[in-house]
Structure 1
Amino acid sequence: MNSSYVSYFTLAAYFDTGGFKYLYFLLILSLYVFIVCANVLLVVVICVNRSLHEPMYLFLVSLFVNELYGSTGLFPFLLVQILSDIHTVSAPFCFLQIYCGYTYCGVEFTNLAVMSYDRYLSICYPLQYHTHMTSNKVAVLITITWSLPFFGVFVTTALSASLQLCGNIINKVYCDNYYIIKLACYHPLINNVYELVAVFLTVCVPVCVILYTYMRILKVCFSGSKQTRQKAVSTCTPHLASLINFFFGSLFQMLQSRFNTSSVPNMLEIFLSLYFLTCQPIFNPVMYGLNMSKIRLMCQSLLSRSVLGGCCNFSHRSGPGPLSR
């Protein structure tokens, strides 16, 4: 039958948690609230402070916005499914979730590659940095970071939506394009070839850029001064930590999709499948907020002003008490 006749998909990875589902709901909701608050706070801090309007921080804004985008494409859906007794999802929404998840991953990899290129220019060519990294170039890089994955994943999703499917059961807690392709009635050669090309452009090319830039950075560090090494460590540590975290999360996802994981406990399997979509939006604001002194000081200043402002407004509204007269 054609995929147009598949009106819904069943997510078979969910299992009965009994009364614990409310605990899981509160846990997921708390994580989502933290992700939204942390990433929005950092975006606001960078946008309202003109001293942070530098290429490195603008790329960070792009990264934090992507974390908000990716987590919003997953967490509200998880919250509904946790409380639901029937774990089904309509076909249009399933393909929309696939589109959101894959574009999030593509933007994440591309953004991390652009940030590594920015760090490479800053460390290897400090005197020519502002000549190379102009405002126009920053705008072009951010545009490419978002436009290429959105266009590439659109084609991937359209090809999957046109497949003839012989089933509607997805053995996962959210929709995944790889599992849709496994439901195809015939071997989708075009889909597989295009996915290889898309993976090469959105994963392999950014990884090559990252490896090349860090090889050059290491070369400069080994031959440079102590000040150069300290600058490299301070600016590259959060980026490297974010990159490693996302790489291992993606690796867990790939291994789970390609290999039989029936021997893995259900809770662990679900955690590994959600790791790269949940931990990265939590990890990035914490890592960059704590490690980058400018952002940390601005956050402290903004929060302290908000607290003091609230206290002053409260005192002003209260006025002098009767005993003070």
Structure 2
Amino acid sequence: MDNIINVTYITFGGHVEVHKYRYLYFVIMFTVYVLIIISNLTIVYIIVIHKSLHEPMYIFIAALLINSVLFSTAIYPKLLIDFLSEKQIISYSACLLQWFTYYSLCCSDFFLLSVMAYDRYVSICNPLQYQTIMRKTTVYILLISAWILPACQVSVPMLLSANKKICNFHLKGILCNSTVHELHCVRSRMLNFYGLVVFVSAVLLPVLFILFTYTRILVVTYRCQGVRRKAAQTCLPHLLVLISFSCLSAYDVLLARLEFDFLKTLRLIMALQVVIYHPLLNPIIYGLKMRGIHEHLKRLFCKMV
């Protein structure tokens, strides 16, 4: 009977003194989760109700913030349950589902950021063709692709992992990330190779595309001083989000491969930063740096006060 339970459930070993600080962990993370939901959906609400913000740039921002809400909802409820539970366990199927949503939504963020970079590139470098290129149909296709393509890419290793035999039932982290492959009895070269393909296509290429487009924008703004202010107002928030998300993603990839036991506390801190900073900073950055959103946000708060 114990063997059946072990085969079915995976234990999280990344929590630090959870029995001692369970209620403190719960209160902090529950507060953060509520702040993430409220702040992101507030910006989305502002974009939806104001027709002046029904432009591709703001639509993509709303999609990115919705993605943050979905990402947090895939992570936080399970974390909160674990903080109050005697054992921090998860079924293997649920672990694969969390792994799938975690990485598909992360990849969606990179796709959305690349789409936003392309939108800014067309707007600043080819303003006369902007309305022709960024039509509603184009915007919808880009949005749908940003969610469907990563989901299709990540679903392949998830389905392959579902049929693999597992011999290890202990994860060093607090959620199901790329360390799930360490549970398998035999490491698959095909999964490793496909993971590399997904990384290149869903992360590396979008980042290179973003850097290319913003380099072109910098060249144009350097030549034309009148465009410089517009570029700074609209591109700076996207760059800040890209830098923060890329750094956190790098932390996630590195921590998944660290084997040192004395880094358990550091591993927990960095894992929490991955799931806290990006979803919480996005609405702050866009709420403060995007003038169109900032003005409506101030009016909303004035009405509430």
Note whether the superposition's TM-score is higher than 0.5: yes
SS in structure 2 of the partner of residue 137 of structure 1: helix
CA contact (8 A) 1:261 1:269 kept: no
Query: Residue 131 of structure 1 aligns with which residue?
Result: 132
Residue 287 of structure 2: which of 258, 272, 289 is its match? Answer: 289
Residue 156 of structure 1 deviates from its aligned partner by 1.7
Partners of 1:256 and 1:217 in 2: how far apart? 34
Query: Residue 235 of structure 1 aligns with which residue?
Result: 234
Partners of 2:6 and 2:254 in 1: how far apart? 31
Question: Structure 2: which 5+ runs fail to align?
Answer: none
Amino acid at match of 2:159: A
Query: Residue 15 of structure 2 aligns with which residue?
Result: 14
Q: Deviations over 1:65-98 (max 9, x none)?
A: 1000000011111111111121111122111111
Partners of 1:209 and 1:24 in 2: how far apart? 39
CA contact (8 A) 1:289 1:295 kept: yes
Q: Deviations over 1:45-72 (max 9, x none)?
A: 1011111000000001110110000000
Query: Residue 300 of structure 1 aligns with which residue?
Result: 298
Amino acid at match of 1:44: Y
Partners of 1:17 and 1:186 in 2: how far apart? 32
Report which of the two structures shows the higher radius of gyration computed on alpha carbons.
Answer: 1
State how 1:151-190 maps to structure 2 within 5 Å.
151-176=152-177, 178-190=178-190
Query: Residue 253 of structure 2 aligns with which residue?
Result: 254
What is the CA RMSD across the aligned residues, in angstroms?
1.7
Query: Residue 97 of structure 1 aligns with which residue?
Result: 98
Partners of 1:235 and 1:38 in 2: how far apart? 20
Q: Deviations over 1:208-237 (max 9, x none)?
A: 211110111111122122x21111111111
The verdict on how the C-alpha distance between 1:261 and 1:244 changes in structure 2, with shifts beyond 3 A counting, is farther
The verdict on how the C-alpha distance between 1:88 and 1:17 changes in structure 2, with shifts beyond 3 A counting, is closer
Q: Greater helix percent: which structure?
A: 2
Indicate whether 1:205 and 2:205 are aligned. yes
Residue 300 of structure 1 deviates from its aligned partner by 2.3
- The count of residues paired between Structure 1 and Structure 2 equals 302
Question: Structure 1: which 5+ runs fail to align?
Answer: 308-325
SS in structure 1 of the partner of residue 175 of structure 2: coil
Residue 268 of structure 2: which of 270, 278, 285 is its match? Answer: 270
Residue 272 of structure 1 deviates from its aligned partner by 0.9
Residue 38 of structure 1 deviates from its aligned partner by 0.5
Partners of 2:5 and 2:104 in 1: how far apart? 23
CA contact (8 A) 2:110 2:206 kept: yes
Amino acid at match of 1:46: I
CA contact (8 A) 1:12 1:173 kept: yes
State the TM-score, normalizing by the size of structure 1.
Answer: 0.89
Amino acid at match of 1:268: L
